[in-house]
Amino acid sequence: MKFRLLLFVLLFSLFAAFPVHAAQPGTKKVVPAVTQAVNVPILLYHRFGPTVADGMTITTPVFESHLKFLRDNGYKVIPLRQLIDYYQKKGPAPAPKSVVIVEDDAHKSVYTDMLPLAKKYNVPVTIFVYPSAISNAKYAMTWDQLRELKKTGLFDIQSHTFWHPNFKRERKKLPPAEFEKLVNIQLKKAKERLDKQLGISVDMLAWPFGIHDDYLLNKAAEAGYKATFTIQAHHAGPNDAIMKLPRYLLINADQGKAFAQIVTGAAPKRNIAF
């Protein structure tokens, strides 16, 4: 009897040390949710044409080759606003293989060359405009052309300051009070003119030449801008600040393999200084 009692105690101890958890009927295994990280290239264009007139010109056939590559390789061009909504916690992270297309300066070739291809491939574009040139400079679009772009539903129009100054040079030339006055004019007047002429509410800014610092970022926020953009060449990711989002400044040599490397984030670094 004592032996049986001792055996029972021993077996009980073993089961207690190594408990067996049986699944309850109707319960499901809980799998931790996977957070999707944003990783979006913002592709920056300036001018288009049949030939390379300067370092910022991309020939129209090369631009179309970019759109074909994106379409044929499963990429989706999304509105810049969709990416900004993510950073403002108003929307989810863009899906993998999302791409954003933007243009700086509102060159007249946006109307003649970019617009037909944007329609053909049904891609959204954000244009950063400095209003002093519109309906004024020979190289720029007119207000009526910008309104026509807006009506397509494919084009969003945002600020590129009022007359595209080089803030680094202006800071060296001007006393602090005069420099502050210049910055306020560039940021506020551009926004006011675009809002009035186009019936929009501008809240994004592309820094001329990509030049920015903490002072300029603070002034932009004071002027009502919710997002600003540089020309730092990498994908927009979860660690980027909404007030200095990166963009790839494209040149005509960015075609074929070179363009594919940019889109995939594998391009060699390119130094751009102003």
Residues 28-61 pLDDT 10s: 443 333 346 899 999 999 999 999 988 899 999 9
Tokens linked to 208: 């001329």
Asked whether the beta carbons of 81 and 156 are under 8 A apart, the reply is yes
Q: Say how far apart CA 123 and CA 117 lie, in whole Å.
A: 8
> Which of the four pLDDT bands, split at 50, 70 and 90, describes residue 15?
very low
Between helix 257-264 and helix 60-72 the angle, nearest 10°, is 50
pLDDT in tens, 192-244: 999 999 999 999 999 999 999 999 999 999 999 999 999 999 999 999 999 99
Average pLDDT, the chain: 89
pLDDT at residue 36 in the model: 60
pLDDT, tens digit, 9 for 90 and up, residues 251-271: 999 999 999 999 999 998 877
Global pTM exceeds 0.75: yes
The whole-angstrom separation of Cα 119 and Cα 124 is 9
Q: How far apart are CA 101 and CA 67, in angstroms?
A: 10
Please tell me whether residue 264 adopts helix, strand or coil conformation.
Answer: helix
Question: Residues 134-175: pLDDT tens digits?
Answer: 999 999 999 999 999 999 999 999 999 999 999 999 999 999
What's the alpha-carbon Rg for the chain, to the nearest Å?
27
